[in-house]
């Protein structure tokens, strides 16, 4: 199972490379690239690729499937995180106006909110 995990991690790295490749021509790189929090989450997402491969029981004889699961790990986790409802603070109603943003936390970061 060690090789399956490694293939999933390789997929996670490829997914991150794809994200950075898409930013290659951007005149303004995102400010978050200087944040240690972003890089910790990036490493955890790469490792999550390997972890999801193990959870799904992908065999090392099927490296392309393991790499595919590793690449899609951030999307899978984002989907899980996005179903967690935003709790209103102090019972106040939640505003869905475009300028209102949820409180920053790990779940909202992964969900892309």
pTM score of the predicted model: 0.68
Q: What pLDDT sits at residue 103?
A: 61
pLDDT digits (tens, 9 = 90+) for 36-64: 888 898 899 899 999 999 998 989 898 99
- What is the rounded average pLDDT of the residues 30-37? 81
- What is the rounded average pLDDT of the residues 19-37? 79
C-alpha distances out from residue 29 to 21, 34, 68, Å: 12, 10, 27
For CA atoms 9, 84, 56, 22, the dihedral sign is negative
Residue whose entry in the numeric block shows the structure tokens 């590793």: 70
- The more confidently predicted of residues 29 and 72 is 72
CB neighbours of residue 49 within 10 Å: 30
pLDDT digits (tens, 9 = 90+) for 48-104: 999 999 998 989 898 999 999 999 888 888 787 777 666 666 666 555 555 556 566
Q: What pLDDT sits at residue 25?
A: 76
């Amino acid at each position: 199972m060690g090789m399956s995990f490694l293939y999933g991690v390789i997929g996670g790295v490829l997914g991150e490379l794809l994200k950075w490749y898409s930013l290659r021509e951007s005149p303004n790189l995102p400010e978050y690239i200087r944040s240690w929090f972003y890089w910790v989450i990036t490493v955890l997402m790469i490792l999550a690729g390997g972890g999801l491969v193990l959870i799904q029981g992908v065999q090392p004889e099927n490296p392309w499937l393991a790499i595919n699961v590793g690449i899609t790990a951030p999307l899978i986790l984002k989907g899980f995180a996005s179903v967690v409802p935003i709790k209103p603070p102090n019972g106040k109603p939640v505003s869905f106006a475009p300028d209102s943003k949820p409180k920053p936390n790990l779940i909202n970061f992964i969900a892309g909110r």
